[in-house]
Amino acid sequence: MQHYDTIFNSINEGVFTIDMNRRITAFNHAAERITGVSREEAIGLFCSEVFRTNICENACPLRETIETGKPVVNAIGYIVNSEGKQIPISISTALLKNPKGDIVGGVETFQDISQIEQLRKELKERYSFEDIIGRSNTMIQLFKILPQLAESDSTVLIEGSSGTGKELFAHAIHNLSHRKKNRFVAINCGAIPDTLLESELFGYKAGAFTDARKEKPGRFSIANHGTLFLDEIGDISPAMQVRLLRVIQEKCFEPLGSIDTIHVDVRIVAATNKNLAKLVQEGLFREDLYYRIRVLHLILPDLKERKEDIPFLIDHFITKLNRIKGRNIAGVSKNVLAKLMEYDFPGNIRELENIIEHAFVLCNGSLIELGHLPIEFRPDHKTIVQEELKFAKTLKSMEKVLIEESLKRHNGNRTLVAMELGINKSTLYRKIKSLEIMAPDTDGRSGLE
């Protein structure tokens, strides 16, 4: 017994056991060190009283193991030690049985993964830039040139599919520039009809049109000395392209209904999900405006081209949601990560963020599982049924072969066959009948049937 105690207390991982009432019955030295609670204090307490974390109430791994009989392996959670410090841990559980094989409780091992978490944070800092996350080579190259772009006052064109983070890059350029103390003003040109877009950009004087009861400044005026982000610029009409070209060239404009010219000092960052060069060739976008806004050029990759960034993005979204919602979700399971890594994300980063938020809402435990993902990511029910039927059919045929072979070996002796297969004799008779097995006429004992 002393030998087992020595081993129990020499293990580097925290180990404790509980009875069926979830009271602690054993607590090793590593558990004392990680929690800051002595063995004498811990014995007899409910495990939730020692670990003091919401995982105990909402998704207790030991309770899950005792109720289902299934072990938990390397789940991630947090505990609060005796000093009130939150510690990330890796958890594994198993059933605790007595020498007779009866379940008498559960055993849990847990490991302090603070150093691993610290490394993860350092990686996040290394591979994030103004809320832009990425470790792929393409993203790292973009991170390198962003400060240089920001130092300039030249117009920037950002091209990329919807959901690739164009506005985040525009914000980063503004925040890294000498204009960062002034306004960053954004407008989605593709979402506003042409007639309204003109008044939104340039403003209007009172009485310029019906319902214009008072003067309204435009986005160019509001963004003076700051940055104006023109999103989806590829959607503006030819007439608006002419008006915009003049403002960019001359840094001045007249509000609707006014003859007074307003001069502004605005840095333009434009973005589009279209191929502007192709639109120029097709005569749908002015060439002179194209080259005016494309002095500096960024092309953002689709998420399917930078899949190595997906784990970092997932971690970023979960951290943000934890902060906003006051939750403590540790991450996603290996199955979830594998499923998301397989997916091509036509909606790019925005789609991934929406998927994680959906799963976050449904998750009651510490780890997001497949069942928390949107329905299209869950295994198809019909497919599951088909696979189960196929498996059942295969299992049935294997069972038939095993019984037939055993009957041959024992010359039809049902008693010996039942013993060999580990089943009751009555069960064997039922299976012979249901599987339509052609058994010998005798049971192998003195010619008796």
Tokens 């309770």 belong to which residue? Answer: 63
Dump pLDDT digits (tens) for 233-276: 999 999 999 999 999 999 999 888 878 899 999 999 999 999 99
Q: In what order do the strands lie in the sheet with 227-231?
A: 184-188, 227-231, 267-272, 156-159, 296-299
Residue closest to 401 by CA, chosen among 366, 374, 437:
437
Query: Residue 449: what pLDDT?
Result: 39
Tokens 């056991």 belong to which residue? Answer: 17
Q: Residue 424 and residue 433: Cα distance in Å, rounded?
A: 15
Cβ(300)–Cβ(145) below 8 Å = no
pTM: 0.62
Query: Residue 448: what pLDDT?
Result: 39
Strand 203-204 relative to strand 216-217, pairing: antiparallel
Burial 77-93 (b: 16+ CB within 10 A, else e): bbbbbeeeeebbbbbbb
As to burial, measured by CB atoms within 10 angstroms (0-12 exposed, 13-18 middle, 19+ buried), residue 67 is: exposed
Cβ(138)–Cβ(301) below 8 Å = yes
pLDDT top residue among 277 and 391: 277
Query: Residue 117: what pLDDT?
Result: 67
Dump pLDDT digits (tens) for 89-119: 888 889 988 888 888 999 999 888 877 666 6
Tokens 């470790």 belong to which residue? Answer: 135
Dump pLDDT digits (tens) for 163-216: 999 999 999 999 999 999 999 999 999 888 887 898 899 988 775 565 666 788
Query: Residue 212: what pLDDT?
Result: 61
Report all structural domains of the chain as residue ranges with CATH numbers, in order of start. 2-112 (3.30.450.20), 149-300 (3.40.50.300), 304-376 (1.10.8.60), 381-434 (1.10.10.60)
- Under the banding of pLDDT at 50, 70 and 90, the label for residue 441 is low
Query: Residue 383: what pLDDT?
Result: 53
pLDDT winner (highest mean) among 8-17, 45-54, 250-259, 391-400: 250-259
Q: Residue 36 and residue 24: Cα distance in Å, rounded?
A: 15
How many other C-beta atoms lie within 10 A of the C-beta of residue 386? Answer: 11
Question: What 3-state class would DSSP assign to 261?
Answer: coil
Q: Residue 32 and residue 12: Cα distance in Å, rounded?
A: 11
How many other C-beta atoms lie within 10 A of the C-beta of residue 370? Answer: 15
Residue closest to 189 by CA, chosen among 220, 237, 160, 231:
231
pLDDT top residue among 187 and 382: 187
Q: Average pLDDT for residues 402-422, to the nearest whole number?
A: 80
Q: Average pLDDT for residues 311-328, to the nearest whole number?
A: 88
Question: What 3-state class would DSSP assign to 320?
Answer: helix
Q: Which residues pair with 228 in a beta bridge?
A: 185, 268
Judge whether residue 70 has pLDDT over 60: yes
Largest CA distance in the chain: 120
Cβ(71)–Cβ(93) below 8 Å = yes
Query: Residue 437: what pLDDT?
Result: 84
pLDDT top residue among 399 and 61: 61
Judge whether residue 388 has pLDDT over 60: no
User: What would the DSSP string read from start to end of 159-228?
Assistant: E--TTS-HHHHHHHHHHTSTTTTS-EEEEEGGGS-HHHHHHHHHEE-TTSSTT--S-EE-HHHHTTTSEE
Dump pLDDT digits (tens) for 26-59: 999 989 988 889 999 999 998 888 887 656 666 6
Q: Residue 163 and residue 12: Cα distance in Å, rounded?
A: 45
Query: Residue 366: what pLDDT?
Result: 80
Query: Residue 387: what pLDDT?
Result: 47
86 contacts: CB under 8 Å, gap ≥ 6: 78, 79, 80
Judge whether residue 429 has pLDDT over 80: yes
